[in-house]
Structure 1
């Protein structure tokens, strides 16, 4: 499918676009002329404020600066708008040298249009291939064999169950089937406790919906559905019907179609909801008073599921180090930075200090983050389903959020859910 970004539109923008590029950088920091100095490395990241791992990252930068006294490092920080800010900076040829962001939506097209480099050669030349998990290399490699970025953060994405709330409602043990989940939800509601909380109006609900639909889809079938927007297969229709059955049986918290990830975490962290589907960085944020009586597992299955165990999501594309065309001019500085970030001691600190899952090999465990560590140990107790992020065309991502909100609206038929999902691909 054709990317909404083209080489002409992205890299050969007219003077009008370039002239508007610099003000958009104010959200992170302005790029001064000195940033083109070969002795200044400019790194653009989502780490540096409250994002999980930010404190560890800032300490790593401090150590890197101390070890490289002749090299200045400028750290630019953005949140969810990082991709847009980077693209604007690239139009003005003022982009940072290294970008730390996930493989999702806009970033899927960057390497293809020349906004960032294929780093496969650097990975081998710098002797770092063996440091990366094979699954991560596969996930970051595009259909033309190009490695989009140096893989770094990964995530496990299990389901967290507040055991104390379940037991208060008379539910003993984690639900493993849809029928068990429905019965548990009824008991929880009878005790004034919301069952499953999710951000039905953002990416958290989108991922949970995709996970439930895949109850009846093989990996290849799921890849086809989320690449093409074709949800008409028998498995996809059965998965949507399963979701609708759970929703209309009261499994999800009230009015989830209006909630966000922040709402979800607040409900779970305060004991207002008993269950949430949460990536490992969110599990690391669960307060100790809740974590000590929380178990992690998979999403319950329906009869006839293609999986034999409850499902989780897992991703190796959460954050990578992308190299820009400007960064190519500072290859020595970029190499020193990437090598430093790949060092076992640096990687270990993200695991032990921040509870991050990594796409880079390490023997360290997140022992200070019990739920993250428990998710890392799930192993063969769960089945893994596809995280669709790298297969959904960028133009369909935001429409899929809208479709997700529609889907979580109680009373929406399975046929309407399917229509909403497929309509998200009309502009692709």
Structure 2
């Protein structure tokens, strides 16, 4: 897509960051009105500011930035999963905010290509900030044309959390590392009235776990091909789908997983109604202390003949970045001050210490108050990393894949139908 930004073009770029949500109080129209053209006002659009992990630290950082820059006002606009849609509405009216804090996924994949945001590589280098960023993060945020879409900021580890106390209660002696062990553990847990693996089968958390399990028999290149093209017909992809169906129909996942959301998943694990969850860093940081004390993190169990030699996890450096809009270019001096402040080691350390966030930036700070986040960081060679498909899935297929995920988690859906649902998500979009 190389044409100028148009309503038809950018609204076709995808259907949302995750499952459809009701617009919050800040609608697209109010955002257009709120985008301040005052050269002394920096307008930042973010998902941080309410209950999102890291919000208190972010708001405190904004207050500190304002005090250090008394001549520069900062207006903070907040949206949730609909941020991309709201931003696009404002951009169509040329009233977009100056800086956008959002992840690289779905609609945002097309922003730099259609001129909704700008290539920031020159700014990163010109401001001397390249060495602050992990090389893996720079690679992940760089598109096929060598453009850096945004300044990387938040990252995440995405291991599997195991409630050791619940496993012990059910008579499970060790963390399962194979599919057979996981099935056996699930049966014992169910016998004690404990849900085995809780998962948001009706939203992005289920999509990610499904992708992780499918990759059991795929190399990274094979996984990249499958999620870029929607071709799940290879031997490895079919083997991964078969493995998923075997686990599902053996009762590994919580009852009615196809209707669960990420919030319900988190609640089930944190209240000890379920023993196992696929938990990114922000979810690990929310595990109550009394549960975290007897929780271990590891990888997803493997099947015989897997392409990996260790249980798998997901990891990404594209959770949140700072995107610069065309309006932001007009206030680039203010944007530079803001980004230098957010990249400062002290600011980065606060997010790690206070919010348990993993960062795409270099830092020696450890999440001492968030032991599960720190434990996930230490997994290292004990696990194998599989591909997070977000940057490879065409934006138009992102939301249909959520629907396909719910279908896949429905007990009794055959492997053939799971594959058909996944491939149809690409064709129907």
TM band (smaller chain): over 0.9
Aligned match of 1:9: 6
CA contact (8 A) 1:28 1:76 kept: no
- TM-superposed CA distance for 1:40, in Å, is 0.4
CA contact (8 A) 2:6 2:92 kept: no
- TM-superposed CA distance for 1:172, in Å, is 1.2
Describe how 1:410-421 pairs up with structure 2 within 5 A.
410-421=411-422
CA contact (8 A) 1:29 1:77 kept: no
1:306 aligns with 2:307: yes
Partners of 1:142 and 1:34 in 2: how far apart? 28
RMSD of the alignment, in Å? 1.7
Provide Cα deviations, 1:207-226, integer angstroms capped at 9, x if missing partner: 00000000000000000000
CA contact (8 A) 1:154 1:317 kept: yes
Aligned match of 2:296: 295
- TM-superposed CA distance for 1:25, in Å, is 5.3
1:316 aligns with 2:305: no
Q: 1:52 to 1:411 in 2, by over 3 A?
A: same
Aligned match of 1:141: 142
Q: 1:409 to 1:283 in 2, by over 3 A?
A: same
Partners of 2:242 and 2:82 in 1: how far apart? 35
Aligned match of 2:20: none
SS at 2:36's partner residue? helix
CA contact (8 A) 2:156 2:357 kept: yes
- TM-superposed CA distance for 1:6, in Å, is 5.0
Partners of 2:74 and 2:169 in 1: how far apart? 53
- TM-superposed CA distance for 1:289, in Å, is 1.1
Partners of 1:90 and 1:30 in 2: how far apart? 10
- TM-superposed CA distance for 1:30, in Å, is 4.2
- TM-superposed CA distance for 1:24, in Å, is 9.3
Aligned match of 1:56: 57
Aligned match of 1:360: 361
Describe how 1:212-227 pairs up with structure 2 within 5 A.
212-227=213-228
Q: Structure 2: which 5+ runs fail to align? A: 11-23
CA contact (8 A) 1:166 1:172 kept: yes
Aligned match of 2:110: 109
Partners of 1:263 and 1:58 in 2: how far apart? 27
- TM-superposed CA distance for 1:26, in Å, is 3.4
Provide Cα deviations, 1:53-89, integer angstroms capped at 9, x if missing partner: 0000000000000000000000000000000000000
Partners of 1:10 and 1:101 in 2: how far apart? 20
SS at 2:297's partner residue? strand
Aligned match of 1:19: none
Partners of 1:236 and 1:292 in 2: how far apart? 37
Aligned match of 1:422: 423
SS at 1:161's partner residue? strand
Partners of 1:40 and 1:408 in 2: how far apart? 47
Number of corresponding residues = 416
CA contact (8 A) 2:249 2:412 kept: yes
Partners of 1:10 and 1:362 in 2: how far apart? 41
CA contact (8 A) 1:366 1:372 kept: yes
Aligned match of 2:379: 378
CA contact (8 A) 1:29 1:76 kept: no
- TM-superposed CA distance for 1:300, in Å, is 0.2
Partners of 1:270 and 1:290 in 2: how far apart? 8
Aligned match of 1:84: 85
CA contact (8 A) 1:27 1:78 kept: no
CA contact (8 A) 2:31 2:86 kept: no
- TM-superposed CA distance for 1:9, in Å, is 2.0
SS at 1:83's partner residue? helix
- TM-superposed CA distance for 1:35, in Å, is 1.4
- TM-superposed CA distance for 1:235, in Å, is 0.2
- TM-superposed CA distance for 1:427, in Å, is 3.4
- TM-superposed CA distance for 1:277, in Å, is 0.2
Calculate the TM-score normalised by the size of structure 2: 0.95
SS at 2:426's partner residue? coil
Partners of 2:409 and 2:8 in 1: how far apart? 39
Q: 1:147 to 1:172 in 2, by over 3 A?
A: same
CA contact (8 A) 2:28 2:87 kept: no
Q: 1:351 to 1:33 in 2, by over 3 A?
A: closer
Describe how 1:32-43 pairs up with structure 2 within 5 A.
32=33, 35-43=36-44
CA contact (8 A) 2:292 2:372 kept: yes
Aligned match of 2:73: 72
1:255 aligns with 2:252: no
Q: 1:26 to 1:413 in 2, by over 3 A?
A: closer
SS at 2:323's partner residue? strand
- TM-superposed CA distance for 1:37, in Å, is 1.3
Q: 1:92 to 1:34 in 2, by over 3 A?
A: closer
Provide Cα deviations, 1:79-127, integer angstroms capped at 9, x if missing partner: 0000000000001111000000000000000000000000000000000
Partners of 1:122 and 1:71 in 2: how far apart? 20
Describe how 1:186-197 pairs up with structure 2 within 5 A.
186-197=187-198
